[in-house]
Amino acid sequence: MSIKKLTILILAAFFISSCAGSVSQHNNTKIAQAMKKEADVFQSHGNYTAALSRLLEAEKIIPRDPYLQNSLGLAYMGKDREDLAITAFKKALSIKPDYIEAINNLGAAYLRQGKWDMAVENFKTVLDNLLYPTPHYPLSNIGWAYLGEKKYHLAETYFMKALDKRPWFTAASHGLAQVYIRTGQMDKALDYLHKCINQSPDTAIFHADIAQAFEGKGMSHQAMESWEKVLKLVPERSSLAKQAETRLLELH
């Protein structure tokens, strides 16, 4: 066999091998993406353990997929591992620096850690993007960061901005009520919370807020009624249920 023919055979074999490898990698990528979609469904139902299991398997195949890393970060947050979530969100942003959802989620992870300044920095970056479709979320989150810092005037300002964008947005309404409660403005809190409850009577956090406001006014009977309403609205083992049970025991 001539050198020329041998070279052609080697190149043909290499081409066939490369194509097979490419097809195999493409199939593996499709499997990993399907696993991510399945994990996202698990997350939407609050099953973070199952979601994390699928995502970690998918990560072995597509470790540099920014959307996978973002989902992984959310799963870690669902497991209360903000440290690991921050690593995942940062990896997503190292791959896709303009990934605005990952920036927002990174801010949320910092918010949970009580790293207020870093949270605000990320949320303001989100707000700088004029195409971001839901600005009430970062506005409200900035309010919560300032509330954590006890910068009540700034917190109120950002909660109001969020409510201008989305009236009766629960996170912002709850935050605004907390500003009034924590600054001792119980009458203002009660007036506002009555409006919130009229608008959304089955939102448990509003009943918890108004119970706190009643306690601040020394109105124990009304506070107990509100805490009992909370227990009817939330899952039995939730943190809000535990808070309501504790307050009811102390008020009896």
What are the structural domains, with CATH classification, of the chain? 33-118 (1.25.40.10)
Distance from C-alpha of 160 to C-alpha of 148, rounded to nearest angstrom = 17
Evaluated on CA atoms 134, 140, 159, 122, the torsion sign reads negative
Whole-model pTM? 0.83
Q: pLDDT under 70 in the chain at which residues?
A: 1-26
- Please, which residues have CB within 8 angstroms of residue 125's CB and are 6 or more apart in sequence? 103, 107
pLDDT at 4 (0 to 100): 62
Distance from C-alpha of 4 to C-alpha of 232, rounded to nearest angstrom = 83
Q: What is the pLDDT of residues 62-82, one digit of tens each?
A: 999 999 999 999 999 999 999
CA atoms within 13 A on the CB side of 106: 25
Question: ∠ CA(41), CA(45), CA(51), 5° rounding?
Answer: 55
Distance from C-alpha of 58 to C-alpha of 35, rounded to nearest angstrom = 6
Distance from C-alpha of 184 to C-alpha of 182, rounded to nearest angstrom = 5
